[in-house]
Amino acid sequence: MDTQIHEQFYNTILEWARQPAPRSPPAVFLYGPPGIGKTTLAHRALEDAGLRVVEWNASQHRHKAAVSEALEPLLQSSNITDYFHEKGHRSLGIVLDEIDGMSVGDKGGLSELLRLVKEYNGSNAIVCISNEWQEKRYAGFLRWCKALQIGVPSPADILPIILSTLGEDKVELAEARILAIELQKTHSGDLRKILQSLREMAPEFKRGRMTLTEMREVLRDGPVERSSLGTNRVRRSETIKTALNNLLTGNMDTYAEIPLNNNDLNLAGLHLHESMPKWLQKNEKDSRKAFKVYSELMNPITTSDRLDYYTFFYQHWSLFSLTYQVKLQSVNIRLFEGVEPLFPNRNEDRAVKWTDSDVAYTAVLSKQSWLYNQFRYLCEMREIIQKEYPHYDGGIEGVFWVGGIALQNRRLGMDVVVGSKADSSRFERCLKALELPKMTSMPI
């Protein structure tokens, strides 16, 4: 669908990606407002060029050492399974998403990324994506990459999306054009939010409970809850909360791809884990059965967490979005579609007890998982150690060793001294962050 909206850019990326190595320029730089389909556009163009697409969330890496250690192996990597594929080995299409996130508290990560891009002459295709481009720090990407500015979709671009989502045979074309204008205006061209609004209202429209005129009224009114909408609420933001509530109220299609980016999928999974005990307490009176369901749900959730670990530390980035789809949809299926669902066939006679205010928010306040935060702290600690000991070459594993000794010393009441007083304070803060938080008991 994004290729229809951004067809010219799709063809440009496709033509560039099909060039033999070394490509000129060495990378593509997609920039523009958030939510307009830049990442999806990159994925589809690279896939159609015959490349094996992997996504690397650049905003998770702000330190120069972290960028170098994580990205260089990926640029040089190849997948052994490709050699058993009938088409043989395939080069990678590497999507470096949200590189503007690297500039927040930048520790040299963005400049290191630019250096790697400028010097790269291999067969893998690199696409850098950013929501920002006007500041001086992005000048290098505009200069050295094939820079493509992606604009917001127009009402004419949105119209085919409305027709395909609601059904061409059920929609008056004139009214659909007005709705396209309203969607474009309400969401300022944010394609992700436009799709979200349509998907939330589509079930009510198809059941005959809502007209296109009422859809436009909902968009103008903003976040509301009407009797005709039930639990389907339209929001101009809070996409994580919307997806989570759709899941926990039985309104999420088990076969649909959850329209969230990797960071938001991460947070949705964390919110879901926090909210499940309360959901079971409200909807299942038998505490033994509730605990049985909870323990069953933990199997796919913990498996997904393990996959997240391998995704990050071994650069299997193509697994990242998949693990969160599994994490969220496994709960959806168990509650509403499984062998013994709590709400068989999404039984309308038994309403799910759940509202927006019931959501339990995760203790992770930033858009980064606990695992990524730990890696960031370890990289910062490594820089402190290298500053004090220039010949230190223990890598991240050595930081674990030094940090373990420091933690033990702190438990014994001894001071943690590494370099200057300021460096010791930084090191101390990192140590505190690395200690596991205490778990709360399940309220059932």
Q: Which two tokens stand for residue 266?
A: 């991460």
- For residue 218, what pLDDT is reported? 79
Residue 81 phi, psi dihedral angles, 5° rounding: -65, -20
The pTM of the full predicted model, rounded to 2 decimals, is 0.52
In a domain, 321, yes or no: yes
Written as one string, the DSSP assignment of 408-441 is HHHHTT-----SSHHHHHHHHHHHHHHSPPPPPP
- How far apart are the C-alpha atoms of 158 and 379, rounded to whole Å? 44
According to the model, what pLDDT value does residue 309 have?
75
Q: Going from the first residue of the chain to its last (444 residues), give the mean pLDDT of each consecutive group of 10, the final group possibly shorter.
A: 73 93 92 87 92 79 73 70 56 88 67 89 92 86 93 88 86 90 85 82 84 83 40 42 82 71 74 89 89 89 81 65 78 80 61 82 55 67 74 66 72 68 68 56 50
Claim to verify: residue 364 and residue 398 sit in the same structural domain: no
Q: CA 78, CA 57: separation in Å to the nearest integer?
A: 19
Whether 283 and 401 share a structural domain:
no
The verdict on residue 81 lying in a domain is: yes
Residue 23, Cβ density class (10 Å: 0-12 exposed, 13-18 middle, ≥19 buried): buried
Q: Specify the pLDDT at position 419.
A: 64
The CA distance from 32 to 138, in Å, is 13
Instruction: Establish whether the linkage from the previous residue to 344 is cis, with ω within 30° of 0.
Output: no
* pLDDT of amino acid 234: 35
* Residue 282 falls inside a structural domain: yes
Angle ∠(260,266,270) on CA atoms, nearest 5: 125
The answer to whether 179 and 165 have CB atoms below 8 angstroms apart is no
**Residue 325 near residue 258, CB atoms below 8 Å:** yes
Residue type for 304, please? S
pLDDT of residue 13: 95
**The pLDDT value given to residue 233:** 34
Q: 143 with 181: CB under 8 angstroms?
A: no
- Rounded Cα–Cα distance for residues 267 and 362 (Å): 8
Length of the chain, please?
Answer: 444
Bridge partners for 28 per DSSP: 127, 146
As beta bridge partners, residue 287 has none
Alpha-carbon span 250 to 334, nearest angstrom: 11
**Kind and range of the H or E run holding 298:** helix 287-313
Same domain flag for 252 and 285? yes
pLDDT at site 339: 67
Q: Are residues 96 and 16 in the same domain?
A: yes
225 assigned to some structural domain: yes
Q: State how far the Cα of 32 lies from the Cα of 322, in Å rounded to an integer.
A: 26
Q: Is the peptide bond before 73 cis (omega within 30 degrees of 0)?
A: no
Q: Is residue 439 part of a domain?
A: no
Co-location of 203 and 227 in the same domain: yes
- Which of 97, 115, 149 terminates a domain? The answer is 149
440 occurs within a structural domain: no
Q: Where do the H-state alpha helices sit in 18-169?
A: 38-48, 64-76, 109-119, 139-144, 155-166
Are 357 and 243 found together in one domain?
Answer: yes
Q: Are residues 168 and 213 in the same domain?
A: yes
Whether residue 316 is found in the same domain as residue 360: yes
Out of 236, 265, 284, pick the residue that ends a domain: 236
pLDDT of residue 345: 55
274 and 230 co-located in one domain: no
Which domain does 383 fall in, by range? 370-434
Total domain count, the chain: 4
Show the CA angle centred on residue 177, arms to residues 171 and 182, nearest 5°: 110
Closest to 124 in 3D by CA, of 82, 69, 173, 187? 82
pLDDT of residue 371: 59
Q: Does residue 443 fall inside a structural domain?
A: no
| End residue of a domain, out of 327, 350, 368 | 368
- What is the torsional sign of CA 66, 72, 75, 78? negative
Whether 424 is in a domain gets the answer yes
85 and 109 inside one domain: yes
Q: What is the CATH number of the domain that holds 83?
A: 3.40.50.300
Same domain membership, residue 135 and residue 22 = yes
> What residue has token string 């290191």?
112
Within 10 Å of residue 434's Cβ, how many Cβ atoms?
Answer: 18
Residues 38 and 123 in one domain: yes
